[in-house]
Amino acid sequence: KLSLQEYLSCRRAETQEPPATKRQYKAFCKELKLKEKEGYVAATEWAKQELLLLPPSAHYKVYMEVADLAKRQNRIKHARHYYVQVHRMQPFASQGWLEHAKMEEECGDMERCGRVLNRGLFFCPYNENLLVKGIKHQERIGNIQAARALLSRLKRVTVDRTWKATLEGALMEARNGNGEVARKVFKYLMQHVPWHGPVYLEASRFEEREENYEKSIKIIEKGLVGNPRYAPLWFAALKAYEKCETIGGIQKVRETVQRAVKVITKELIWKVWFEAAQVEERSCWRICEKRRRKLEQKRTLRMQDGE
């Protein structure tokens, strides 16, 4: 009889598939898409027959595909049945729990969604995607303490493996009015995982919402030092410099554009110029509006003097 630890090790090992199995599964998915054109019933029956030809380690993936098909066909009861099969065959497949929880959320069944997430986190306690989903779910139903309890388990894992969940925790605190706590978490992440651009992006957005534009710009510039090819930071910089007229305004935008086009991927260079053009257009409009107001004031003063 296997001990619990031995059993868990065996189950985890099943998620590691040999290349031949992956090729077979890929061919199955390709054929299933063609079978979908024949209708839901024909496609599911064919998929069940194919189970006999695929290795047992791939069976849970087949049921995941069939569950997804049932969900898209709005056959929710069928989809639930297939997701249950996935969980029984491979409870360590985090994607199965995640997709099931998403479906329940889309159906408006928050209680069932919570149960699925809790069960999934029992088998995959440190899976980032499940943790992020769990935190968002608990916040959505107003259970902030439960969300914080999920975050507390991250202390046992290195931050480079759980930075996304930690970042979601910072955003949750910010949304719930705990700005100082959020700021501390952002600072912690920027110190320990400085190679992840999204950390700087969310930290800068937080400061922007707090109307700390100069602080937002400092965070962006710091992020660009370690992540020069992370495009969202460049677009955030353009937006921030446009708002922060006290430190150069439009001239800083122009300088940022010149810096961005030298390092950003070629596919996004057009977007940099497009954003720059919009900034210039808004700047021209503001200048014209300012001149119009001055002329209106002068005209009003002349009329008052004439009277």
User: Using 50, 70 and 90 to split pLDDT, how confident is the model at 20?
Assistant: confident
Report the length, in residues, of the chain.
307
The structural domains of the chain, with segments of one domain joined by +, span 1-125, 130-193, 207-306
The architecture that CATH gives domain 207-306 is Alpha Horseshoe (1.25)
Asked if 140 and 117 touch (Cβ cutoff 8 Å), the reply is no
- Confidence label for 1 from pLDDT (cuts 50, 70 and 90): very low
Look at residue 143 and tell me whether its pLDDT is greater than 60: yes
- 167-222 pLDDT, tens digit per residue, is 999 999 999 999 999 999 999 999 999 999 999 999 999 999 998 988 999 999 99
Separation in Å, CA 66 to CA 58, 78, 112, 178, 238? 13, 9, 20, 43, 45
User: What's the pLDDT tens digit per position in 35-77?
Assistant: 998 999 999 999 988 888 888 888 999 999 999 999 999 999 9
Mutual angle of helices 128-140 and 159-175, in 10-degree steps? 10
Encode 189-234 in three state secondary structure: HHHHCCCCHHHHHHHHHHHHHCCCHHHHHHHHHHHHHHCCCCHHHH
pLDDT at site 7: 44
DSSP classification of residue 245: G
Token reading at 113 = 């969604």
The model carries a pTM of 0.80
* Contact (CB, 8 A) for 176 and 200: no
Q: How far apart are CA 89 and CA 97, in angstroms?
A: 12
At 18, which helix (H) or strand (E)?
Answer: none
d(CA 144, CA 142): 6
182 contacts 171 by C-beta, under 8 angstroms: yes
Q: Identify which of 20-29, 86-95, 246-255 has the greatest average pLDDT.
A: 86-95
Same fold yes or no, 1-125 and 207-306: yes
CATH 3.30.479.10 fits 1-125, yes or no: no
**Whole-angstrom Cα distance, residue 289 to residue 291?**
5
Enumerate residues 6+ apart whose C-beta is below 8 A from 214. Answer: 244, 246, 247
